[in-house]
Amino acid sequence: MADRIRVLVAKPGLDGHDRGAKVVASALRDAGMEVVYTGLHQTPEMIVNAAIQEDVDVVALSILSGAHMTMFPRVLKLLKEAGANDVVVTGGGVIPADDMAKLIKMGVDRLFGPGSDTREIAAYIREAVAAKRG
């Protein structure tokens, strides 16, 4: 179905904990979305290349390592350079509120902390993609 939402869930950097990413990926599948999970230790370049190849609507980064102020801006920059301005960039992890605000100012759509309700994440993704699709 052409209007089905496609989401790429990625674990950038050296963070080796992917339980949360797998829980979110599973919940998004259960919500009717197509999900591509890239696995651990992805570079921003690998993530953006996969997003372009898979023609995704959403890139969702899971970051617990503290590298969020490096990884999110790099992914945003690479997506822009690739002309993928319509891709929703979201994610979550252990990200201080001040950093969340900075990342949103840079162009990240919304961020979720540990323990976020997966139904809320799915609902947000539906709304954000609908807004981007017009």
Phi–psi pair at 49, nearest 5 degrees: -60, -45
Q: What is the pLDDT of residues 109-118, one digit of tens each?
A: 999 999 999 9
Packing angle, helices 68-81 and 97-106, rounded to 10: 10
Token duo for residue 94: 């252990």
So what's the pLDDT on residue 2? 54
Please give the average per-residue pLDDT across 103-126, as a whole number.
97
Residue 131 to residue 32: CA distance in whole angstroms? 18
Q: What is the pLDDT of residues 13-62, one digit of tens each?
A: 888 888 999 999 999 999 999 999 999 999 999 999 999 999 999 999 99
What residue segments make up the domains of the chain, in order of their start?
Answer: 6-133
So what's the pLDDT on residue 3? 84
Please give the average per-residue pLDDT across 5-10, as a whole number.
98
SS (H, E, C) the chain: CCCCCEEEEECECCCCCCHHHHHHHHHHHHCCCEEEECCCCECHHHHHHHHHHHCCCEEEEEECCCCHHHHHHHHHHHHHHCCCCCCEEEEEECCCHHHHHHHHHHCCCEEECCCCCHHHHHHHHHHHHHHHHC
**Residue reference for tokens 């993928």:** 84
Specify the pTM.
0.96
- Find, among 53, 75, 55, the residue nearest to 63 by Cα: 75
Q: What is the pLDDT of residues 69-98, one digit of tens each?
A: 999 999 999 999 999 999 999 999 999 999
* CATH of region 6-133: 3.40.50.280
- Find, among 51, 7, 58, 52, the residue nearest to 33 by Cα: 7
